[in-house]
Structure 1
Amino acid sequence: MTDAIRTFFTIGYGGRPPDEFVGLLRAHGVETVADVRLRPDRASLGAYTKAKTADKGIEKLLADAGIGYRSFPELGNVFLDMDDWTAPYGELVERAGDLLTRRLVALPGTFCLLCAEKRVAECHRGAVAAYLAARGGWRVEHIE
């Protein structure tokens, strides 16, 4: 007997109005947003900021739509200030991926990795998604 394959999604909020963003999540059956930004409290758009209390910012936006929110700063891109961050971030995920994704893979239901960049090709969430998909048991769909 084979284990069922779980599908998860990725999305970037950049350039999306909040209602469009939430609509895409709902259309894909997302139950929990897994925020993989290193500093979600420093988002440039207020609706996407992780505020000090859950009654504001992204937590409120999602809660109002019946979607859960969890922050995973351990999956944030610590190499973002480098011109070519892709190689060192990819190496970090390859070396410590099981540790870095431990809390993420324990999420029940359908989750969606969230970061700021609209296109996955420009974002570290693609490396996290590729790592999970390569482990087996996971299928990823990028919402673009």
Structure 2
Amino acid sequence: MPALCPQRNDGPMNHALHTLWTIGHSTRPWEEFVAMLQADGIEVLVDVRRFAGSRRNPQYSRDVMPQALRDAGIDYLPMPALGGRRKPEPDSPNTAWRVEAFRAYADHLASPEYIEARDGLMRVAAQRRTCVMCAEAVWWRCHRRLISDDFTARGWEVVHLMAPGRSDIHVLNADAVMVGDVLEYPAPQGKLL
């Protein structure tokens, strides 16, 4: 599939091939969380947490969620290979990111582990209404932000479920650029003259 952001500052084209949804569970009541997924017709919830447990919100643990979602008519698919909490590469090309955690995840976008998991997610999401979930309530403070950039750069529409009845359409980061088949975030270069 061709990338739709060949150069810095080129946004994706306006005709998405597929749609991916994202959500952060945060401290949201379980009933509200499920209702938000059902309101958008979500069929598969993909858990992109590397460490899928929550002492404060045990309803969101990997031990509880599969059956609770099944009871709501939603399939649960853990994909820890897409999880955050990564270490940045010493020679990272993703220097536009000032926050180390985002730079580290941007480096992860080039890893075989990420690419294999991303391609699997694309296959699922191309067939069924799929939502990516992490713990952080807002997508712009979460690695879902970079997953969303990667999908947007590849022609997908990404919809962030924010609250009941409220969602945001993802806009590709202005620093994102495709290098081969990998999304990178190089620091903007100053003018030479």
Give the alignment partner of residue 42 of structure 2, picking from 9, 14, 30.
30
Segments of 5+ residues of structure 1 without an aligned counterpart are: 52-56
Distance 2:72 2:123 in 1: 22
Alignment RMSD, CA only?
1.8
Segments of 5+ residues of structure 2 without an aligned counterpart are: 1-14, 88-98, 163-193
Question: Structure 1 residue 4: deviation in Å?
Answer: 6.8
Query: Aligned letter for 1:43?
Result: S
Equivalent residue number for residue 54 of structure 2: 43
Match status 1:104 vs 2:121: yes
Equivalent residue number for residue 18 of structure 1: 30
Q: TM-score, normalised by structure 2?
A: 0.64
Question: Structure 1 residue 13: deviation in Å?
Answer: 0.4
Divergent runs of 4+, >4 A: none
Q: Secondary structure at the match of 1:85?
A: helix
Match status 1:134 vs 2:153: yes
How many residue pairs get aligned? The number is: 132
Question: Structure 1 residue 99: deviation in Å?
Answer: 2.6
Query: Residues 20-69 of structure 1, C-alpha deviation per residue, up to 9 Å, x if partnerless?
Result: 000000001110001000021x2232111011xxxxx1112211110011
Equivalent residue number for residue 143 of structure 1: 161
Q: Secondary structure at the match of 1:66?
A: coil
Distance 1:27 1:133 in 2: 23
Question: Structure 1 residue 77: deviation in Å?
Answer: 0.8
Q: Secondary structure at the match of 1:61?
A: helix
The percentage of counterpart residues that share the same residue type is: 32
Which is helix-richer, 1 or 2?
1
Match status 1:70 vs 2:77: yes
Match status 1:117 vs 2:136: yes
Q: Secondary structure at the match of 1:78?
A: coil
Question: Structure 1 residue 17: deviation in Å?
Answer: 0.1
Query: Aligned letter for 2:151?
Result: L
Question: Structure 1 residue 70: deviation in Å?
Answer: 0.2
Would the aligned equivalents of 2:86 and 2:108 in 1 still touch at CA under 8 Å?
Answer: no
Alignment map for 1:70-89 (pairs within 5 Å): 70-79=77-86, 84-89=100-105
Equivalent residue number for residue 171 of structure 2: none
Distance 1:100 1:13 in 2: 21
Distance 2:70 2:133 in 1: 15
Distance 2:120 2:54 in 1: 23
